Amino acid sequence: MQWSEWFALGTLVIAFGAMVRDRVSSSGAMVGATIALLCAQIITPRQALAGFANPAPITIAALYVLAAAVERTGALSPLVRAMLGSGRSLRPSLARLLFPTAAMSAFLNNTPIVALLVPEVQQWTTRNERPASMFLMPLSFAAILGGIATIAGTATHLLVSGMMQDAGLDPFGFFELSRTGVPIAVAGLLLIIVVGPIVLPERRSTRREVVEELRDYVVDMVVSAGQELEGHTVEAAGLRRLNGVFLVELQRAADGHHIAPVRPDTILHGGDRLRFAGKVDDIVDLQRLPGLVSAEKDHVVTLETDEVEHFEAVVGAASPLVGKTLKEAGFRSRYQAAVLAIHRAGHRISGKLGQVTIRTGDTLLMVAGEGFYRRWRDRPDFLLIAPFFTVPRQLSRRAWLVFVVAVAIVALSAARVVPLVTAALGGAAVLVFGRALGASDLQQAIDTNVVVTIAAAFGLAAGVNNSGLATRLSTALVQSLGRFGPRGVLLGVALAAALLKELVTNNAAAALVLPIALTAARTLSLQPRGIAAAVTLACATSFLTPTGYATNIMVYGPGGYTFADYLRLGLPLTALVIAGLVWLVPLGWPI
Pairs from 410-419 (Cβ < 8 Å, separation ≥ 24) = 410/107, 410/150, 410/152, 410/174, 413/152, 413/174, 414/173, 414/174, 414/175, 416/173, 419/55
Give the burial string for 218-246 (b: 16+ CB within 10 Å, else e).
bbbbbbbeeeebbebebeebebeebebbb
Query: How is the chain split into domains, by residue range?
Result: 3-205+404-588, 225-290, 313-387
CATH architecture of 225-290: 2-Layer Sandwich (3.30)
> Degrees (nearest 5) of the Cα angle 101, 66, 412?
95
Give the burial string for 428-465 (b: 16+ CB within 10 Å, else e).
bebbbeeebbeeebbeebbbebbbbbbbbbbbbbbbbb
CA atoms within 13 A on the CB side of 371: 5
Task: Return the closest-CA partner of residue 309 out of 371, 257, 362, 368.
Answer: 368
Please state, in angstroms and rounded to a whole number, the distance separating the CA atoms of residues 135 and 171. Answer: 36
Full pLDDT tens readout for the chain, 591 residues: 788 888 988 998 888 888 766 677 778 888 998 999 999 999 999 989 888 888 888 888 888 888 788 877 777 666 766 776 666 678 888 998 999 999 989 988 888 788 778 877 877 887 777 888 899 999 999 999 999 999 988 888 988 998 898 888 889 999 999 999 999 999 999 999 999 999 998 876 565 665 555 444 567 788 888 788 888 998 888 887 776 677 888 889 888 888 888 888 899 998 998 888 765 555 555 666 778 876 644 333 444 444 567 788 888 877 889 888 888 888 888 888 888 778 887 677 766 777 888 988 888 888 787 678 778 877 778 888 877 655 555 667 788 888 898 889 888 888 888 888 898 899 889 988 888 877 667 777 777 878 888 888 888 888 888 888 877 777 777 677 767 778 888 888 888 888 888 777 788 888 888 888 888 888 878 889 999 999 999 999 989 888 778 888 888 878 888 888 899 999 999 999 999 999 999 988 887
Model-level pTM?
A: 0.73
What is 210-273 written as a DSSP string?
A: HHHTGGGTEEEEEEPTTSTTTT-BTTTTT-SS-SSEEEEEEE-TTT--EESSPPTTPBP-TT-E
Task: Return the closest-CA partner of residue 469 out of 539, 524, 519.
Answer: 519
Contacts of 571 (CB under 8 A, 6+ apart): 543, 544
Say if 225-290 and 313-387 have the same CATH topology. Answer: yes
Please state, in angstroms and rounded to a whole number, the distance separating the CA atoms of residues 71 and 432. Answer: 14
Q: Which helix (H) or strand (E) holds 547?
A: none
Backbone φ and ψ for 274, nearest 5 degrees, come out as -110, 135
Q: What is the CA radius of gyration of the chain?
A: 26
Fold for domain 313-387? Alpha-Beta Plaits (3.30.70)
Contacts of 198 (CB under 8 A, 6+ apart): none
Handedness of CA 286, 288, 290, 294 (dihedral sign): positive
- Residue 334's pLDDT is 86
Backbone φ and ψ for 314, nearest 5 degrees, come out as -95, 130
- Residue 391's pLDDT is 52
Question: What are the Cα distances from residue 374, in Å, to 117, 270, 328, 441, 558?
Answer: 17, 34, 24, 12, 20
- Residue 303's pLDDT is 43
Contact 270, 250 (CB under 8 A): no
> Degrees (nearest 5) of the Cα angle 394, 400, 401?
120
Task: Return the closest-CA partner of residue 460 out of 119, 204, 163.
Answer: 163
Please state, in angstroms and rounded to a whole number, the distance separating the CA atoms of residues 232 and 183. Answer: 68
H helices, E strands: number in the chain: 25, 10
- Residue 581's pLDDT is 92
